[in-house]
Structure 1
Amino acid sequence: MMRWFLVLGAVNAFLSVAAGAFGAHALRARLPVDLQVIFETGARYHMYHALGLVAVGLLGHLRPSPLLAGAGWSMLAGIILFSGSLYALALSGVRVLGAITPLGGVGFLAGWLLFAMAAWRTTQ
């Protein structure tokens, strides 16, 4: 399973770079500045958590753990809900989509907490 987190991390890193480039170039003239900032925030957090998935996969190869699996799935859910809702909000202008974003933030928080717990147990 940890191989999947490495692959998911790499794929999401690719997607976040593509989203960032799309936002910086294709959307620059099409979106108001406030929506560009929202899109860029989605891309930035997308990359942070893609790297988190890679970290989960690497630590999981050393010491597999159910906590790490939970961390990886939580980070992936966070990417989908947080970054996905910000991308959708920026592209559509539908502000109610911002109500989904905090759910993704909870996924990120849970993922990092589970990662910390797994790292603590792994290194003892």
Structure 2
Amino acid sequence: MWIAISALNLAVAVMLGAFGAHGLKARASIEQLNWWHTATDYFFYHAIGLLALGVIAKVIPQIPIKTSFLLIQIGIIFFCGSLYIMALGLPRILGAITPIGGALMIAGWLILAWNAFKFSR
């Protein structure tokens, strides 16, 4: 299941990246394009990270990944989603949830680190 969700994330990241590069370019300001680019970069990085978590779950099942995976996935939705919404010219107030998404992604990676340290003992 984890690898399938990761693959879906990667497919959506490619689609959104292509839309930003081709469909949004003529209509958006430089600032909006930068938000879109940042969202797509972080989407890709963390989707690849989720794929790595899926592989870890198969290779080292003793390391729990569920909490990390969920926090990172929700973080992607909040962080990238809010930047995409702002880039589309929708209410900028939604940018207030961008740092929450970032904090969720950071928490997910820190929990993975904690679990990996516990396993390595």
Secondary structure of the equivalent of 1:56?
helix
Unaligned runs of 5+ in 2: none
Q: For the Cα contact (< 8 Å) 1:35–1:90, is it kept in 2?
A: yes
Unaligned runs of 5+ in 1: none
Q: For the Cα contact (< 8 Å) 1:35–1:93, is it kept in 2?
A: no
What is the distance in 2 between the residues matched to 1:11 and 1:45? 15
CA deviation vs aligned residue, 1:11-38 (integer Å, no higher than 9, x gap): 1011111111110111000000100000
Secondary structure of the equivalent of 2:65?
helix
TM-score, normalisation: structure 2 = 0.92
Q: For the Cα contact (< 8 Å) 1:67–1:117, is it kept in 2?
A: no
TM-score, normalisation: structure 1 = 0.90
Tell me the CA shift for residue 65 of structure 1: 4.9
The one of 21, 24, 49 aligned to 1:24:
21
> Partner of 1:76 in structure 2?
73
Aligned Cα RMSD in Å?
1.5
* Moved beyond 4 Å, runs of 4+: none
> Partner of 1:87 in structure 2?
84
Alignment length (residue pairs): 121
